[in-house]
Structure 1
Amino acid sequence: MKKRMTLTFKSKKGNEYLYDDSTGLILPWSKEDEKILKQLLEGNKTEDILKDGDVHESKVHYLSYLLDQTGAFLEECDIRVKYPGEEEIVDFIGSNLARQLILSVTDDCNLRCKYCIYSDAYHLTKDKSCKYMTEETAKRAIDYFFELISPQLRRNPRKKIGITFYGGEPLMNMKTIKYAVRYINQFYKENVYYMLTTNGLLLNDANIKFLAENEIGLAISIDGPQKEHDRLRVKIDGSGSFEQIANNIKKLSEAYPYYFRTRVNAVCVFDPKTDIEKVEEFYEELEKTYNIPRAIFVNKVSDNETNYYDQFSDTDNQKYDDRIKNLMRKFHEKKVADKEISSYLSAIAGGGPMSVIVRRRIDEIQGHCIKSSGACIPGQKICVNSSGIFDICERVNGHNSIGNVEQGIDGKAVLKIMKEYNEVALEDCSNCPIKKLCGYCYLNFETENGFKKNKAGCAFHRNVVKTNLSRYVSIYEENPNCRYFLDTDTAELENN
């Protein structure tokens, strides 16, 4: 059964628009357009509608064309997924999807960040061990991964594949990282794009030299100026970590300036007490002189299955709301005026409009075997933990294994996860008008006992998407020549 799947919203200037989820189109909208579309959906012919002198002929023909020729405005709500077999899904992952191997080389860490997802505040992930991945486990993971994706490499010998080192703090297991890089360079070097996420404490001379010489892209966690950073990112003894990290960054930028400018980035986390306006000013000032890397990811502390947010008062939350509105206003004004925007401001305030720009269009397929939402097929990333178990990705807890280095991807486990996700988490998604803009995935619906529908979260997310649509068209109303650029540490992997 098909139902209308559209959402109306207004720009900052009060102009009305319609977002059509079926095609991904955003159309200027009016009462006249609405009247015509309703008549068309009721089965009225264009010649009958045109007998009404209150409508424009061009609008009738245009909306009729969209409805009849592009499949606009209506979507099938009774989505029935036909699942492949266990071997077929593994072949599909290897031949088409898998493009990144994440080696979580240890869960151990030399910081005790107050928002860490491995802390007691996050009951789904608090039981992570402090194991270290062995060289043998890394070798097995690498060999299996490149054998899995061999059909892709045969089709495109120049295809770039992401190899990411993750933790905990991955530099605490430099022994396995060095082994993995040397092994990969010996057999697979031409296809590899390296990345590593670090807190920066162990960026000593030897480690910096190895990372730079092997062109390993770094994402260093820097949450802002010293006061903001040290409030949450503390060492085991409770002292702040900013000064040591800042010194290491200075040493890195001076020793390898080109590497620093081209392959070193920052990732930032904030909570309701963070003065994000001061953090933005910090990045705006220092990244111009290369005293700090540009920020590519700016994320709020995870609110999934946690009591972390119980500590904040209504005053804290109101201050945060005011600050985020101020930054969004600043982003809008600078974007309209074509002024330079700091990487932090672009990441924290520009992500919403960017999500609209990269929305799925009519000719794109919503994830194979996934009814809707932003979830991928498990296996698009092969995330290997320190014991050699395959997780869905580095952000999802380890309760949903999809294989291991001995047996490879478990097709039965992949299908089980997708079926449960479709049947439980996505039970109402067929009636949602923002499926092509949805950013939710397994992470947003996981619980200790499997996936669970998050109706409150979905309602909140729909409002966020509506706001993003409004912000997007509001900018282009004032500056039709405005340009956006997708800026991530995996950008090189997106178009090959």
Structure 2
Amino acid sequence: MKILLAEKFTTESGNNYIYDGITSIVIPTNEVMEKAIELLKKENEQETIKQLSQEFDLHEVISAVKFVSRWTNVFKGFYRESGNGKVRDTSANIDEIKNALANDTYLMVLNLTENCNFRCKYCYVTETYDFTRNRTGRSMDFATGKKSIDFYFQNLKEILKKVPNKKAGITFYGGEPLLNFDLIKKLVEYAEEHSPVPLIYNMTSNGSLLDEEIMDFIVRYNINIAISLDGSSKNHDKNRVTLRHDSTYNKVYENLKLFMKKYPNYTKLGIMGVYDIATDLIENTDYFEEESLPHILMLNRVASKNTDYYNQFSKEDFEAYNSQINTLRKTYIKKKQNNEKISNYLEMLFDMQLGPFLMRRRIQDIRPSIMPFTNSCIPGIRMFVRVDGTIDMCERINETFPVGHIDKGFNYKNIEKIITQYNKEICSKCESCSVEKTCPLCFASCNEDSGFNYPEKDFCSRWKKECKDALSVIYTVLEKNNQAYDRFWKQVEKSFEFRG
């Protein structure tokens, strides 16, 4: 039996489209097309034409039916045969796991310290969140860092045999990585001397420890650095405080300004921002329009999974937040449609929300057979190295899913077990999902202690609605300005420039 995997959405101008869940292509539609798609799920062409011609013009019916038939024949679009595409048991596929790791991109993230000089109220590595790592006083030493780089380079040399133009990335992470700046210097110097490929360095910092020596080092080695700044002093200091709960905005702002003054042409300095229900988004929009600050690289809302963080907000808080979002969305759409100057904050506020739908997988973006659904990476593609040398699949996962150690390499049995468990506990219904190719779920967003679960019970139905709403906004914009998202794609290319 065929399952129809398509969703209809409407733009603000009243135009209707079909999102084809098989190819991830958006197609203009009308009532005849929609009924043809529905009927062809169970009827042949002749019977479909016969039924529809009783209600619509024959030539219009034939045109619609022929289009749908060609689409399904050429691209296998719209429908999936029930029972096909079942999640595979990976118990006998360790060779496929090794092959996936030998062919895909490696990014190594070094957790230089589990300590931090801030106590941000929404930090995910605290007791605010269940099932996450917690802050400690431990730090990585040079011996562990050196062995991590050696292990990383060893794997890269194997990839080079298949991808000769390979690049690679090393990210310095924390806690606050600049608390271990001496180690950063030693590791960069060691990596520069021994790397088999061109290296791109990345770092996320709270910005409080930036001084001229650190700035000089960052520029000398062309390090991409993202500084956390949540907006105006009111919005930033609401959540980002020191150990003694003192405000941090002034120090971060002054350091950013000093960096820009000292190196006005340095383009690899950016900002990462976070917001919650109580953030004054309109004030932040104006703030970033008026202030001369580095480009915002990422803007995320405080995560709501496995936390009581949002219990502090009232019904009125949520209503006020939704009112702000609706007001700003109208402004965003108008400015994008007309190619008007737009606040960096406003653009990123919605581009980040629309990102999963702009970047959705298309027909030729084939998932690995061992993980056919969602957009999660294969464990090991992104290596997060703890301070003790244990390898996790990323920095967002908790400590119950190790995939290896720098002394012993990857633990393929563990990876096999993790993939099998994820496929079983998260992906069992993906085969019949019409928006699966946009799905943001991954190991880190679903992890609990030694298991996986959906971020919320109604996640799948909510995501389907979000997908249709997001596509409506995107195509409302594109109908009037087909180049509206060029800047978005350039930013995406820049963020993945380490890919070979």
TM class, shorter-length: over 0.9
The aligned residue for residue 363 of structure 1 is 364
Give how far 1:42 is off.
1.9
Over 3 Å counting, the alpha-carbon distance change for 1:378 and 1:317 in structure 2 is: same
The aligned residue for residue 275 of structure 2 is 270
Give how far 1:473 is off.
1.3
Is this contact kept in 1: 2:91–2:417, CA < 8 A?
no
AA aligned to 1:106 is T
Q: Indicate the SS of the match to 2:238.
A: helix
Percent of residue pairs identical: 30
1:24 and 2:24 correspond: yes
Aligned partners of 1:236 and 1:224: how far apart in 2?
20
Worse overlay, 430-439 or 52-61: 52-61
Q: How does 1:198-237 map to 2 (within 5 A)?
A: 198-237=205-244
1:282 and 2:287 correspond: yes
* 1:144-192 deviations in Å (ceiling 9; x for gaps): 1111122322334432211100110000011211111001100117510
* 1:126-155 deviations in Å (ceiling 9; x for gaps): 534221011111111111111112232233
1:172 and 2:179 correspond: yes
AA aligned to 2:15 is N
The aligned residue for residue 338 of structure 1 is 339
Is this contact kept in 2: 1:98–1:149, CA < 8 A?
no
AA aligned to 2:170 is I
Gaps of at least 5 residues in structure 2 are: none
AA aligned to 1:470 is S
1:148 and 2:155 correspond: yes
AA aligned to 1:24 is S
Is this contact kept in 2: 1:328–1:349, CA < 8 A?
yes
The aligned residue for residue 65 of structure 2 is 60
Aligned partners of 2:133 and 2:392: how far apart in 1?
16
Give how far 1:249 is off.
1.1
Q: Indicate the SS of the match to 1:351.
A: helix
The aligned residue for residue 88 of structure 2 is 81
1:248 to 255, 258, 262: 255
Question: TM-score, normalization: structure 1?
Answer: 0.94
Worse overlay, 56-65 or 198-207: 56-65
Is this contact kept in 2: 1:108–1:167, CA < 8 A?
yes
Give how far 1:15 is off.
2.2
AA aligned to 1:370 is M
The aligned residue for residue 129 of structure 2 is 122
The aligned residue for residue 437 of structure 2 is 436
The aligned residue for residue 12 of structure 1 is 12
* 1:265-313 deviations in Å (ceiling 9; x for gaps): 00001110000111121112223xxxx2111110011112111111111
Alignment coverage as a number of residue pairs: 490
* 1:67-97 deviations in Å (ceiling 9; x for gaps): 1221011124531325375752453244212
1:389 and 2:390 correspond: yes
AA aligned to 1:331 is Y
AA aligned to 1:457 is F
The aligned residue for residue 373 of structure 2 is 372
Aligned partners of 2:402 and 2:81: how far apart in 1?
32
Q: Indicate the SS of the match to 1:478.
A: coil
Is this contact kept in 2: 1:265–1:293, CA < 8 A?
yes
Aligned partners of 1:371 and 1:87: how far apart in 2?
16
Is this contact kept in 1: 2:282–2:328, CA < 8 A?
yes
1:38 and 2:63 correspond: no
Gaps of at least 5 residues in structure 1 are: none
AA aligned to 1:338 is N
Aligned partners of 2:383 and 2:112: how far apart in 1?
13
Aligned partners of 1:413 and 1:475: how far apart in 2?
45
1:137 to 144, 149, 152: 144
* 1:224-277 deviations in Å (ceiling 9; x for gaps): 011111111001111101111111112111112222xx1000000111000011
Question: TM-score, normalization: structure 2?
Answer: 0.93
AA aligned to 2:157 is S
Give how far 1:403 is off.
0.8
Aligned partners of 2:155 and 2:414: how far apart in 1?
17
Give how far 1:48 is off.
6.5
Give how far 1:491 is off.
2.6
The aligned residue for residue 3 of structure 1 is 3
The aligned residue for residue 194 of structure 1 is 201
Aligned partners of 2:10 and 2:17: how far apart in 1?
6
The aligned residue for residue 120 of structure 2 is 113
Aligned partners of 2:39 and 2:319: how far apart in 1?
45
Aligned partners of 2:190 and 2:391: how far apart in 1?
20
Aligned partners of 1:386 and 1:273: how far apart in 2?
35
